[in-house]
Amino acid sequence: MAIDQLSVFVENRPGKLVEVVEAIGAAGVDLRALSIADTADFGVLRVIVDNPDKALRTLTEAGYVVKINQVLPVSIDDTPGALGKALRVLSDAGVDVEYLYAFVAHGENKAFVIVRVEDNDKAEAALTKSGIAIATDREIYKM
């Protein structure tokens, strides 16, 4: 089951990242995971939050350019080699990973990897067939 990820375009200037994060917090929206990639002029902040719709409204009203993407929340054991196994399954299934970022769950000995692929259904089917769990939106948003 794919979940919503917000991609926020942020000017690459001091203080701009904190403005976005503060706006999300002021709206009462809780961050679950984030990643930022930058270029000379702007950065793309990718965030998973507990209330994507509210975050989208808040950031759009504040003048930010925001896009929602569907990403796959893959649940793996927090052990050496677990990520490699999941990525091997995707590679063997012909699924190209565009990007990913990971985080560890609170005291569950699980790690969650947010994976952006072209075909979420194909990726989910391959991972599930190999015994690799897909987290639900509830698991991620309510963490």
Architecture of domain 70-141: 2-Layer Sandwich (3.30)
Rounded Cα distance, 17 and 73, in Å:
24
> How much of the chain, in percent, has pLDDT values that exceed 90?
72
- Burial label for 116, CB within 10 Å (0-12, 13-18, 19+), is buried
Q: What is the pLDDT of residues 75-111, one digit of tens each?
A: 999 899 999 999 999 999 999 999 999 887 765 777 7
Strands (E) located in 30-109: 31-38, 42-49, 65-77, 97-104
Q: Which residue ranges of the chain lie beneath pLDDT 50? A: none
Check residue 86 and give its pLDDT.
96
Check residue 107 and give its pLDDT.
58
Check residue 142 and give its pLDDT.
79
| Residue in the block written with tokens 């987290």 | 135
Buried residues in 45-77 as b, exposed as e (16+ CB within 10 A) = bbbbbebbeebbebbeeeebebeeeebbbbbbe
Q: Which residues pair with 37 in a beta bridge?
A: 44
Check residue 48 and give its pLDDT.
95
Check residue 106 and give its pLDDT.
65
Map out the domains of the chain as residue ranges. Answer: 3-69, 70-141
82: tokens are 């677990």
Q: Are 58 and 29 in contact (CB under 8 A)?
A: yes
Q: Which CATH entry fits the domain spanning 3-69: 3.40.190.10, 3.30.1600.10, 3.20.20.120, 3.30.2130.10?
A: 3.30.2130.10
Rounded Cα distance, 19 and 48, in Å:
17
Check residue 139 and give its pLDDT.
84
Q: Are 90 and 22 in contact (CB under 8 A)?
A: no
